[in-house]
């Protein structure tokens, strides 16, 4: 939809006005146009994302599925502005982010995007609570409010009482839940989650998915997951399947 309002030709030829402007209409949460990411090391060339064009509606709950190595993580990193495209464009909430200066990109990530990394990426010297409240701290939220928001979330996802533990003293599943708490505690417009249920038992996965579905319903947070988890795929409103860096299927069920 709305392909006509901001085609690539216009955006490329007028880079200063590459952001999508649609009178009174909400832009797509995410849009990509012929997006490529190529890694080159010592004569080895990997085309991790190969010409992906798609868009995600605001408030959607979308799974990127596909075998290992199909480009799910790379695509999430491109959407989240953690990796620069080799070619093509990415818009988040109507702003073209592929060529933004680092500083502006960092601001968008802090204010608008929550990440759940495949390897959790918790800071080892900070406690579970300090890790989870980190983005709130950067945003200047007062201490008491940060603590109460994190504590409520920890309660909700079954890790209450672990606030003062360092990540090294938590199980994989507990670290994963801290990582999810960190991503959602600031109620960002967009959450990008890489295999967020990969190391969890079914009951814990279900409670995390419930939490994310609730945020999705209540405040319209857009969720994009990279996953193999059938439980999560079942709950998604849309399944986009990647093979070798390209979209090969795109199924919506409402
Ligand atoms: P998935 O998340 O679906 O398993 P990835 O996006 O991690 O897939 O990887 C897609 C392809 O890109 C794989 O062949 C992988 O080895 C390669 N790749 C990913 N990141 C890098 C990198 N930083 N350097 C070189 N190759 C990479
Ligand atoms: Mg991956």
Query: pLDDT for 83-125, tens place per residue?
Result: 999 999 999 999 999 889 999 999 999 989 999 998 889 999 9
The rounded distance, in Å, linking the Cα atoms of 130 and 188 is 18
What are the helix and strand counts (H, E) for the chain? Answer: 9, 10
Instruction: State the pTM of this model.
Output: 0.88
Q: Render each residue's pLDDT in the chain as its tens digit; 254 residues.
A: 433 333 343 344 344 446 666 556 789 999 999 999 999 999 999 999 999 999 999 999 999 999 999 999 999 999 999 999 999 999 999 999 988 999 999 999 998 999 999 888 999 999 999 999 999 999 999 999 999 999 999 998 889 999 999 999 999 889 999 999 999 999 999 999 999 998 888 988 998 899 899 989 988 999 999 998 999 999 999 999 999 999 999 999 87
Ligand nearest to the CA of 118: 2
**Domains located in the chain, CATH noted:** 10-242 (3.40.50.300)
For residue 214, list its beta bridge partners: none
Q: Is the CB of 68 under 6 A from ligand 1?
A: yes
- CA-closest residue to ligand 1 atom 20: 74
Pure H helices in the chain: 8-13, 72-79, 102-112, 128-132, 134-138, 143-156, 172-184, 202-219, 230-235
Secondary structure letter of residue 194 according to DSSP: E
Q: Is the CB of 74 under 6 A from ligand 1?
A: yes
Q: From the alpha carbon of 242, which atom of ligand 1 is closest?
A: 3
Q: Is the CB of 69 under 6 A from ligand 1?
A: yes
Ligand nearest to the CA of 246: 1
**Best CA proximity match to 30, nearest among 53, 47, 9:** 53
The rounded distance, in Å, linking the Cα atoms of 4 and 182 is 37
Ramachandran region, residue 195 (left: φ > 0; alpha: ψ -120 to 50; beta: rest)? left
Secondary structure letter of residue 237 according to DSSP: S
The reported pLDDT for the residue numbered 8 is: 40
Q: Are 235 and 209 in contact (CB under 8 A)?
A: yes
The reported pLDDT for the residue numbered 26 is: 82
The vertex-77 CA angle with 74 and 80, nearest 5°, equals 155
Backbone Cα Rg of the chain: 18
Two tokens at 109?
A: 């990530």
């Amino acid at each position: 939809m709305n392909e006509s309002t901001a085609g690539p030709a216009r955006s490329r030829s007028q880079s200063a006005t590459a952001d999508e402007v649609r009178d009174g209409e909400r832009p797509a949460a995410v849009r990509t146009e012929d997006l490529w990411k190529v890694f080159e090391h010592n004569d080895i060339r990997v085309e991790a994302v190969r010409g992906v064009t798609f868009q995600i509606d605001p408030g959607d709950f979308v799974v990127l599925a596909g075998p290992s190595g199909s480009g799910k993580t790379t695509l999430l990193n491109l959407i989240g502005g953690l990796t620069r495209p080799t070619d093509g464009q990415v818009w988040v909430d109507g702003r073209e982010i592929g060529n933004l200066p680092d500083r502006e990109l960092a601001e968008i990530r802090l204010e608008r995007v929550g990440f759940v990394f495949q390897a959790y990426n918790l800071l080892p010297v900070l406690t579970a609570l300090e890790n989870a409240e980190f983005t709130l701290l950067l945003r200047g939220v007062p201490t008491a409010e940060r603590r109460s928001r994190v504590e409520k979330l920890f309660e909700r996802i079954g890790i209450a009482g672990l606030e003062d533990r360092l990540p090294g003293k938590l199980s994989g599943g507990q670290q994963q839940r801290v990582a999810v708490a960190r991503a959602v505690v600031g109620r960002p417009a967009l959450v990008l989650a890489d295999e967020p249920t990969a190391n969890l038992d079914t009951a814990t996965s279900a409670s995390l998915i419930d939490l994310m579905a609730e945020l999705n319903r209540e405040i319209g947070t857009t969720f994009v997951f990279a996953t193999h988890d059938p439980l999560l795929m079942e709950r998604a409103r849309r399944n986009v399947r990647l093979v070798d860096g390209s979209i090969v299927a795109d199924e919506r069920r409402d």
